[in-house]
Amino acid sequence: MILHKEISDAELRKRIREKEVSAAGNIKLKIYGKLNCRSGKRMKRENRVFFKNIQEAIHNGFRPCGHCLRNEYNKYLKVEGTRSRPGR
C-alpha cells in the first residue's frame, strides 16, 4: 500500500505506466476502486492510497467501491449481509 501524500505525482504516474499500481482507495473509509473512478478522483490526497492489485486492497481490509465496481460491491454486500445475520 502506497500513501498518496508520500509519493510525488511523477513517481505515481511512472508506477501506473509500469503496472506497479492498478487500484486506489480511501484509507479512512476503507474503500478501493479503479484509478479512473469519479468518486476516487474527488477524495482528499491525504486519504488516498494505491495498491498493486485488488487482492492487496482486500488483504488490507478494504471493500469495493459501489460506483466503479458495482458487481463486486453487490457480491460484497451479499457476503457481509449473511455474516451479520445470526442464524443464517
Residue 88: pLDDT band with limits 50, 70, 90 = very low
Cβ atoms 16, 49 nearer than 8 A: no
pLDDT for the residue numbered 81? 76
pLDDT for the residue numbered 84? 55
pLDDT for the residue numbered 42? 92
pLDDT in tens, 16-71: 999 999 999 999 999 999 999 998 889 999 999 999 999 999 999 999 999 999 99
Cα–Cα nearest to 23, from 10, 59, 8: 59
Domains (range + CATH), the chain: 2-84 (3.40.10.10)
Q: Which three cell numbers stand for residue 4?
A: 498518496
pLDDT for the residue numbered 64? 98
